[in-house]
Amino acid sequence: MRKAVDRYERLDVGALEVDDSATCMLDLVLRRQMFEAKKAGIAATNPTKGPAMLDEMFVRLVEGHDSRANTLAWFVKFMEAYPAVQNELRTTLKSAFPGPDPPTVDRILNTEIPYLDGTLEESLRPAGTAKGTVRQALVDTDILGHKIPESTKVLLNLHINQTPYSFDESKRSPGCQTAIPI
């Protein structure tokens, strides 16, 4: 924390506003705190001298850890409860990443695997470990008859209904129509 504070103290307001060297949430919070203080022409409070910043960061750490752990626990439970989905997912992953070696992180992140995406997203719906998620349209698209322009941010409320809504199946994509809901 001290190194980040020292780094941000050396930057002027303009540089702080556009700095993109943050590697974690703490860096973002410290940079913003330093930016606001310099912009107002006042001395920034030293976050290393009091418990407030440490307490805040601890809360954020626990929030993130707990929700990830809960999400993973529910996912494992769903895979055990729905072996057909688990088998299809395993087959899909083996097809996407053939060979004996595990795929690299870069390869995983840059491979389109719609069944994996759908399985993960569907496991979030009934589990309730996250309140919502935001997606940004990469292209102009249409969702169930609603036009979504490129770059539009769409908030998806994951708790709006634990039971899926009934939709006109003809409006769903072919892949969505063949998916097995959890």
pLDDT of residue 26: 76
Type of residue at 34: M
Q: Per-residue pLDDT averaged across 101-130, rounded? A: 84
Confidence of residue 18 (pLDDT cuts 50, 70, 90): confident
Q: Containing H/E element for 127?
A: helix 114-127
In three-state secondary structure terms, 148 is strand
pLDDT tens digit sequence for 29-83: 888 888 888 889 888 877 777 777 777 676 666 556 556 777 788 889 889 999 9
Residue 142 has phi, psi (to 5 degrees) of -135, 125
pLDDT of residue 90: 96
* pTM score, whole prediction: 0.43
* Interior/surface letters 43-61, b for 16+ CB within 10 angstroms, e for the rest: ebeebeeeeebeeebeeee
